[in-house]
Amino acid sequence: MVRRHREQGTGGTQTDRKPIIQEEHEALEEPEAVFEDGTQQTPRSNGTPADDDTQENGSAGTGGDMHGEEGNDEEPAAGTSRPPRPSVFVRDVDGFVAGSIVRMKLHNFVTYDDVEFRPGPHLNMILGPNGTGKSSLACALCIGLGHSPSLLGRASELSAFVKHGCPDGFIEIELKGPPGEGNTIVRRLLQSTSRGSTFELNGQHATAKVVAAAVKKLNASCDNLCSFLPQDKVSEFARMTPQQLLKETQNVAGDPHLTEWHQTLIEAGKELAAAQKALQSDRQDRDLLQQKNDKLKHEVEQYKQRVQLQEEIQLYELLVVSKTFQNAKEHYQKLKKEVNKQKALVKQLKERNKPLTDFRDTLRTAQQDYQAKRQKYKKAIQSLGNGLRDLREQSDRLESDADSAESRLKVLKRNEKARQGRIVGLTKEIAALEDKVANPPDFEDLDEIKNERDKYRIPMQDAGASLDRIQFDQRANIDAEAAASSEINRINLELRKLDSVDHQKLEKLRKWDHGCADAVEWLRHNRNQFRMEIFEPPILSVSVPDSRYTDAVESCFGASQFRTFVAQCDEDYRKLNHVINDSSEALGHKGRINVWYKAPEPVTDRPMNPHEMHQVGFDGYALEFVQCPEGMKYYLCTELQMHRTAISLNPNIDLNLATEMVLRADAQGRVRGATYIAGRTIMRASKSQYGQRLAQTSTNVMRQARNLAAGTVDLAAKKQYEDRIAAQRRIQMECEERSQTLNAEEQELRAQCAGYEEHIREIKARFEAAKKVQEDYKKNEIKLGQIRGKLEIELKAPSSEQEAQQIKAKLQNIGVKKIELVHKYKSIVEQLIVESKKSTEVGLMGAQVKANLVAIEALIATHDRKYTDACTALDEAKDACTIAKDEAQVLLDQTSAMFEAAPEPISDRMKEMEQTLEQITLDELHNKLAELKSQLGLNLATNADVIRTFENREREIESLNEKIEKKERAYLRIEKNINTAKAEWLPALQELVDSINEKFSAAFDRIGCAGEVRISENEDYEKWAIDILVKFRDNEKLQLLTAQRQSGGERSLTTILYLMSLTSLARAPFSLVDEINQGMDARAERAVHGELVAVTCTKDSGQYFLITPKLLNSLDYHEKMKILCVNNGEWCGLEEPDAQGNMIPNGGNMMNLINRTVELRTKA
């Protein structure tokens, strides 16, 4: 029986139609679950977070910045190779890899009230009927990790995922942390009335950006269809363009830099095309400008002559201004001499007034001295005031100390009074205890009470021993009854097997060939040891749906052919022979079985086409009337020629025509002959290999089929089983009678034990009372000694008189210090009066000096008028000099500006003529300037726009040449960077696609189809793609997988095989596919399941989730798998009795439901 562990949320109680999750850890070979209503159930076997951080992209192997002016122009070293890709996953001691799902908890989410489940680190199969909430787990995983609901293809609003009628809900996901670190717990809280949500990270509130960063750090993502394929996105995988498939595959598998390299190539490719286009455009523009300028050369020459005259005019205009500046400079120098003359006069008048000014300076010095003395006295007064404040603070501290000492004296008096009171109390208590100790109470002897108790204890122990013996007999009786029930259940199971056709066939084979039957049972439990499926012998794996053809089909077989195992590869053929026939490894002894294998090759053609068979009267070939695995048909064609054996139920066909047709030569000119059956006659036709090669025929009468006929029940065996059930039921009745006898004996012994216990309780109460009296007396003796010790301590305690004397002395000392402070305070007050008097005297003397200073300054102003007039004349001379200087400065600035603005040739000529400029007058310069302007008037002016156009074009041509040279360097640099990046990307991509193709092709080969994965190249790196080509029928060619060409089942099969091919190469810690097996036939579904188990249950695989509403029987199972059963229905809230018979909710336990239903059917 499969062991199932049920996990459900702890919040709230189970209600009707509440989904629950159950985990199964063992084999899927589970009997059909039959429910009370008669139905049967058979166990059946990647949006971006809103605030995702921008990924930092480096120049992965591109040799520097592709857009900069300067790059690394060094070629990569010859012979270097890309380092091997490191292992993707590091598995912790608990089996999980970082980023995988350790736990998921849901509250009020879609169909769930409260649920929690813990998936395994490898393959997790989530099973359950439609509508129970399997796909809701995929929704919870995507939304819980911070993704948008749009990734699911379902509801677009978060509020739609809150269970109907509930105000809020949450999703909590626990992600495995890196080895040595703790797990990451993400909780997303949803509101039914809000489109938004809030997050918690490890129990703390967090923003969506912080959560996205934490999830991204663990590489746990649901935004790639190659690793996360929910139910509503399955069809989108087939609709993906080959370009999208390449990008999604690079994101989820292979070297982690593939996407970065590819994006670099795409951007660089676009940049290279743009650079080439821009370079070509610049070259065309430059050539066109050069052609236009060649047509304007004559006009430009004429323009240059005019420019030369203009330069001469500009030179002489500059010379005129320069000469004007020289004249202004000479005028300024004359005025400067006049200023110096006036300065000498002012100096002479100033020396006459010197005595008065000296006296004024003396008064100013005296004024400053008085001010300094007054400031000194102010500081002394301030210092004395601070001294008074310090004395007041000392006095306050002495007052505080005196208060504390007086308080301590009062405390000492109270303590002494309390001690005397305690001494009186302890004396009284000692007298009372001495009286109690001197008069002890009366009490019973404890030993006598114990002896009385022992008189009842021994018979009670004997009765208890008898009771234990009876209980032992009862348990043995219960075990015997349970063994009888178990045997009845086992025999009933054997009876059901007896009614099973498959079981009948196996038992019939066992009677015929016991070793072959043992080999079949061993193979059924060890299929995972072989690379491909090994088919059981035809007696078990071949059936004839139409019973009318059973005899004819069985006549094609020989006895050994019925018992032959069929292998599909040489490796499995050799291994089966080794473990069964050549060693005792499988059965414990060497067996003798037939094993067949033959390398695939084309089978011979059929002797007649359908039209010819209908013409003769045949119903069809024998192969058309059998039902068996596809791989078995190759054996039936190769060894039994069933594809060439025609069958007709009508015995009256034209035998001659039939013989003629089967003996016709084939395309190679060979006559193969054939067997055909008419009615119950077997005809074998062939041609002799000798002489005239005449036709030969042989006939046999067809026997009744025994091996392929439907099995019947063995009545004798059934009678034996029924007799054994009757014997076990008799044992059950005997056990019931024995149970009643033992129960009566048990009740009698329990009554005796109750009487003994009552006597023992009474004796125990007397013992406790006597014991308490003794203990109270001993306690009084002990307490008397303790109180005497306390009284002695109180009497020996030291007196507080000495401390009181010390406190009084301290108070006297404080009084002395206070008197000293009063004397110091008086002395400082006297000093303060003296200093204040001196400060007032100095202030009065300073005021007198200030009045004298004002009078002398008025006298100096009266005697200084000549000095003032001289100063006025000096100021006027200075003003005139300044004006002349300013005029000269303006002319100098004008000359400098014209000189700097002049072209270099004019500036050079100006420097040459500066030495002779003093010999030329200003008038001569004006005359020369007028002559040049006349010559300029005779030169016809050329259109300035034409000249500007010519010059602009020349500059544009020069600029274009520089740009072309620069773009040519950039073009070569981009081309080199592309080659460098491609050298990294293409080998890694090719390695990834080759590995995928190898696994993908092998998987298709194992199911009898063909598949290929390859790279589609293009000049535009954005159009590079991965093409998936598949072939599901022999008469087809490999065709590209599209959403229109293949059927839904074929697309689903291709999708899951491609995803499994990615599994061992994936970087994502977990993958999920939802109902990918919908639309597959049984053969494809079984093959896909085997592939999935083999790929996802290895030590290097990540976590995998497969969601499906159905599975076939007897699928492969691996110990690393974990089965999660989702149940839903009104029975989830049913009640069942516990061990004490109380009715409790069963919580929707599916195994309890199945066991109870089977039990009811058995009793019925």
Mean pLDDT of 1037-1063: 78
Best-predicted range by mean pLDDT (43-47, 202-206, 365-369): 202-206
Taken in order 1085, 1089, 1090, 1092, the sign of the CA dihedral is positive
pLDDT band at 538 (very low <50, low <70, confident <90, very high): very high
CA 249 to chain CA centroid, Å, is 18
3-state secondary structure of 761: helix
The rounded percent of the chain whose pLDDT value lies above 90 is: 9
Supply the pLDDT for residue 1092: 81
CA 241 to chain CA centroid, Å, is 27
- Cα–Cα distance, 88 to 97 (Å, whole number): 10
Scanning the structure block, which residue is given the tokens 């995922």? 161
Mark out the alpha helices in 1109-1149 (DSSP H runs).
none
Mean pLDDT of 260-271: 85
Question: How do residues 1071-1091 score in pLDDT, each as one tens digit?
Answer: 888 777 666 777 777 877 887
- Cα–Cα distance, 84 to 88 (Å, whole number): 12
Mean pLDDT score of the chain: 78
pLDDT band at 608 (very low <50, low <70, confident <90, very high): confident
Mean pLDDT of 416-442: 79
Cα-flanking dihedrals φ and ψ of residue 1019, to 5°? -60, -35
Supply the pLDDT for residue 30: 37
- Cα–Cα distance, 916 to 319 (Å, whole number): 11
pLDDT band at 17 (very low <50, low <70, confident <90, very high): very low
Supply the pLDDT for residue 8: 38
Mark out the alpha helices in 797-915 (DSSP H runs).
801-862, 865-901, 904-913
Nearest to 543 by CA among 680, 709, 682: 709
> Is pLDDT at 555 greater than 70 in this prediction?
yes
Q: Which residues contact 30 (CB under 8 A, 6 or more apart)?
A: 2, 42, 43
Supply the pLDDT for residue 533: 92
Question: How do residues 141-154 score in pLDDT, each as one tens digit?
Answer: 888 888 888 777 67
Question: How do residues 1001-1034 score in pLDDT, each as one tens digit?
Answer: 888 888 788 899 998 888 888 889 988 898 888 7
Supply the pLDDT for residue 106: 92
Question: How do residues 614-632 score in pLDDT, each as one tens digit?
Answer: 888 899 999 999 989 988 9
Q: Which residues of 172-194 are buried (b: 16+ CB within 10 A; e: fewer)?
A: bbbbbbeeeeeebbbbbbbebee
- Cα–Cα distance, 254 to 1015 (Å, whole number): 15
End-to-end CA distance of the chain: 22
Supply the pLDDT for residue 636: 92
Supply the pLDDT for residue 1154: 65
Q: Which amino acid is at 580?
A: I
Which domains are seen in the chain, by residue range?
A: 4-254+1007-1129 (3.40.50.300), 543-701 (no CATH)
> Is pLDDT at 715 greater than 70 in this prediction?
no
- Cα–Cα distance, 135 to 143 (Å, whole number): 12
Supply the pLDDT for residue 57: 38
> Is pLDDT at 781 greater than 70 in this prediction?
yes
Task: Considering only residues 546 and 756, tell me which one the structure prediction assigns the higher pLDDT.
Answer: 546
Mean pLDDT of 870-891: 81
pLDDT band at 168 (very low <50, low <70, confident <90, very high): very high
Contact 446, 770 (CB under 8 A): yes
Supply the pLDDT for residue 577: 92
Contact 185, 211 (CB under 8 A): no
Mean pLDDT of 683-700: 71
Task: Name the β-bridge partners of 1011.
Answer: 1030
Provide the CB-side half-sphere exposure for 408 (13 A, CA).
Answer: 17
Mean pLDDT of 695-699: 76
Supply the pLDDT for residue 494: 76
- Cα–Cα distance, 851 to 856 (Å, whole number): 9
Give the angle 811-814-818 at the CA atoms, nearest 5°: 140
Q: What is the DSSP string of 305-347?
A: HHHHHHHHHHHHHHHHHHHHHHHHHHHHHHHHHHHHHHHHHHH
Supply the pLDDT for residue 499: 57
